[in-house]
Chains A and B, each alone.
Chain A
Amino acid sequence: MKEFAYQRAADIRDALIAGGGGARYLAGGTNLVDLMKEGVEAPTRLIDVRRLPLDGISEAADGALVIGATTTNSDLAAHPEVRRRYPALSQAVLAGASGQLRNMATVGGNLLQRTRCAYFAAQECNKRVPGTGCPAIAGAHHNHAILGWTRSCVATHASDMAVALTAFDAIVRYETLDGAGEIPLSEFYPPVGDTPHVETALPPGALITAVVLPGAAASPRSRYRKVRERASYAFATVSIAAAFTEGSVRIALGGVASRPWRCRTAEAFLLDSPGSFRAAAEAELSAAEPLPGNGYKVTLARNLIETVLKELQP
């Protein structure tokens, strides 16, 4: 690991001022410290934001739920209002990592965790150094993307939490020295294109301060289901967050793309043909482009959409 300076941010402004150049914010450290050990990340300075007063969950006047960026994954999953109104979010968080890691991991850090593509951790590739190629396409890619990928990169985003947040149309709030901003989760992770190293729409040095769950998206009839290679403590092969709200169905898939995949095609299909779950799933997955080693994900995703919606329908 490269040497680095360490400081605890006194307040948001202090963090933002220190945040430029080769600095990185440190939250739970469960991804950043790991990647520093691997040499994938080599910050010159760590700015510890974990003790900033950005934790906790509160209800806004318009009924939205505002989740502070340093709220731990455990506290998010255990919160009564999250469990009551957005159960799929609680389930998604509980399906991730382990009890120990969820006690450390924060909401902001979870959104910004890097891919679990094994090549990415082991060697230079397009995502780490543009132009160095993507060994996964001709190599081991059984756990890689089937939707929205390009020849530049076929990695998936690993977060479970972000899949549920995408289904609920959550909004990311951030601060920069030039002021505050908001990005809907649907635009937070840009398309891969030929820039897989550009992973979010956040401006440089931005500090995530909160994630907002719109009140209108609340759905006690929502669920997260995750398929993985062992029963617990493993990343998703494919996962789904689904929610029935007044007059609409919301569906997002995990493990299939460089970002949580909102199934707009299937959702629109179901507005015209309510209950046609299998046909809706097939319409969504007609866009899939599996590689030789990951075609199973198309079948898995289709079956997940169909079964979860069947179980969940009012």
Chain B
Amino acid sequence: MTNHHRSEISLHVNGVTHRLGVDNRTTLLDTLRENLGHTGPKKGCDHGQCGACTVLLDGRRVVSCLTLAVAAEGAEVTTVEGLAGDGELLPLQQAFIRFDGFQCGYCTSGQLCSAVGMLAEHAAGWPSSVTADVSPDGPTPVLDAAEVRERMSGNLCRCGAYPSIVRAVLETEAAG
């Protein structure tokens, strides 16, 4: 007999396809951590309020604690483990190290995935809540500290490493 409360899914995580059975209630976060051994994404609040579980889904940053694993079937998931591929750390990751963009490190994987997604959003010309003029006919908003703080506000850091996080992101952007 089929169990309607479970699903067979395939998840593409960091370029690897996994076939697995999941209880429909399982979040993408729990599946990544408990079933697939990707403990990079962290569980801070489990309610979309802290950003520690941030991953990229088809290149866009999302919170994996409010994403059901079944609903992510077929999408490309990138966790912090997959950001660098096999090679060197991304300039963003190196900047986090250079500028001390963390203390305990609990929020860091989420901060990194979020910043990668955020830089792509900015490069695509998206305005933010602190952009003075959202008109598409003006110049693209310059990514200054105020813009970074607003665009990264979905990632809390209880250690308060914010100044260094902002600096690491700005340095990465400046280095192009």
* Residues of A in contact with B (beta carbons under 8 Å apart): 1, 3-6, 26, 28-30, 33-34, 36-37, 46, 48, 50, 74, 77-78, 80, 83-84, 87, 90-91, 94-95, 97-101, 103-104, 220, 231-233
Contacts and interface: CB of A to CB of B under 8 A. Distances in A.
Among B27, B68, B117, B152, max chain A CB count under 10 A is at: B68
A95 B153 CA distance: 11
A4 B25 contact: yes
Interface residues of B, number: 44
Contacts of B149: 231-232
A93 to B, nearest CB: 9
Contact of B66 (A34, A50, A80): A34
Given A26-B71, A29-B66, A94 B154 contact: no
B93 interface: no
A94 B128 contact: yes
A72 B149 CA distance: 22
Contacts, number: 119
24 contacts: A1-B25, A3-B25, A26-B68, A28-B66, A29-B71, A50-B71, A77-B134, A80-B136, A84-B137, A90-B134, A91-B134, A94-B127, A94-B129, A98-B155, A99-B61, A99-B117, A100-B63, A100-B114, A101-B63, A103-B61, A104-B62, A220-B135, A231-B149, A231-B150
A94 to B, nearest CB: 4
Contact of B135 (A26, A84, A100, A104): A84
Contacts of A100: 48, 51, 54, 61-63, 114, 117, 154
A4 B128 contact: no
B70 interface: yes
Contacts of A90: 127, 134
B60 interface: yes
